[in-house]
Amino acid sequence: MIDYSKMLSDKIVNIKPSGIRKFFDLLNEAKDVVGLTVGQPDFPTPWHISEKAIQSIEKNKTFYTPNSGLVPLREAICAYLDRRFKLKYEPSNEVIVTVGGSEALDVSLRALINPGDEVILPLPAFVCYEPIIELCGGKPVIINTKVENKFRLTAAELKAAITDKTKLLVLPFPNNPTGAILDEKDLAEIAEVLRPTNIAVLSDEIYAELTYGRHHVSIASFEGMRERTIIASGFSKAYAMTGWRLGYIAAPREITEQIYKIHQYGIMCAPTASQFAGIEAMEAGDEDIEYMKSQYNRRRMMLLDGLRTLGFECFEPEGAFYLFPKVTDERMTSEVFCEKLLHEGGVAIVPGTAFGDCGEGFARISYAYSMQHIEQALERMEKFLKNM
Ligand code: PMP
């Protein structure tokens, strides 16, 4: 008899599976459900982008690319970062093209964390940071962001969390699941706290293009920050390219040199056809972003109005494509509320606790869905609440 407990890595066995997955499994079993759960655009990839990948295959450009990615893609990423966010990076040694933003986050964390290092992580946040920090032997130091601060990380909270073991701050804004952003003032105050320290920043800017009413600002654009910041980003959200698995890192050469090794040994290079599509997205995708963003914005306002009319308290988030309303109180957990809404109301949303304990009382509702779909969900929620 094989003893799997001896066969497998303790570190892996002790990692909890994602709370999102658990809810999606429930969802798969349920029938006649209107879901507002998914964290991906409902738009198809703009055709002029897809076409470039198809053409590359037709021309038999089906070989490995350089490990860091096609040179024209790295150049296009640098031109894009400069054009959109006034960030200057050198294509030859400060950019690595990755398999989605997911790989960008994974290899960045692995390149920085030594066992015992403390990593400051504001929650609620996307589910991957905490388990990867733990796999690296790091210690996540959680900051529970607060609804009264619109789920922003404050400089005071950051300052209070820093110890002499702090290695890294993960900065997940615009935020999944809350939709919170950090504006220039927030970032300036955070930069001031970090400037005298040796703490690095992993800034997950995958939703940078999806902000409403204001332009995204990167922490790397503040004095003393570029040299300590790794920007992790990707094509999934802004260009509706989740399935292409394309992302990138931009960071100082001293950091990318180390990240490069993990990427080279583990991945080789991002998919070649996707990289050709990526060049087109970076060079000619600005209008697509504008169009999709304007649609998300209409949906955001409709869903926000709808939820408030139903009596939910919800702050107006300025980024990504999620709302994070308060759905329940001490009488019921978020998870129970979401299960009831699923089984009795036929609407699926994700309990806030899937993104950290401080998500208790809240739920993530995605508006990356058509207006009709959102309307139908709101109608069902109204009925459900009446019967509850
Ligand atoms: N960061 C955040 C905040 C996300 O929400 C996601 C996907 N949901 C990712 C990174 C990873 O996206 P991808 O690997 O598709 O680029």
Per-residue pLDDT, 94 = 98
Contact at 8 Å (CB) between 131 and 280? no
Atom 8 of ligand 1, residue of closest alpha carbon: 39
Beta carbon of 91 within 6 Å of any ligand 1 atom: no
Q: Which two tokens stand for residue 175?
A: 């935020």
Beta carbon of 108 within 6 Å of any ligand 1 atom: no
* pTM score over 0.75: yes
Give the model confidence (pLDDT) of 293-316 as tens digits: 999 999 999 999 999 999 999 999
Which atom of ligand 1 lies at the shortest distance from residue 40's CA? 8
Question: How large is the average pLDDT for residues 205-233?
Answer: 97
Beta carbon of 306 within 6 Å of any ligand 1 atom: no
Question: Which of 37, 126, 207, 230 most suits a substitution to test ligand 1, by most atoms within 8 Å of the C-beta?
Answer: 126
Give the distance (Å) from ligand 1 centre to CA of residue 215: 20
Give the model confidence (pLDDT) of 113-132 as tens digits: 999 999 999 999 999 999 99
Sole residue written with tokens 């655009």: 41
Per-residue pLDDT, 26 = 79
- Helical spans, DSSP H, in the chain: 4-7, 10-13, 19-29, 47-58, 71-85, 100-112, 129-135, 155-161, 184-194, 253-266, 272-284, 286-309, 334-340, 371-387
Atom 7 of ligand 1, residue of closest alpha carbon: 39
Which atom of ligand 1 lies at the shortest distance from residue 204's CA? 1
Report how far residue 337's alpha carbon sits from residue 36's, in angstroms, rounded to the nearest whole number.
15
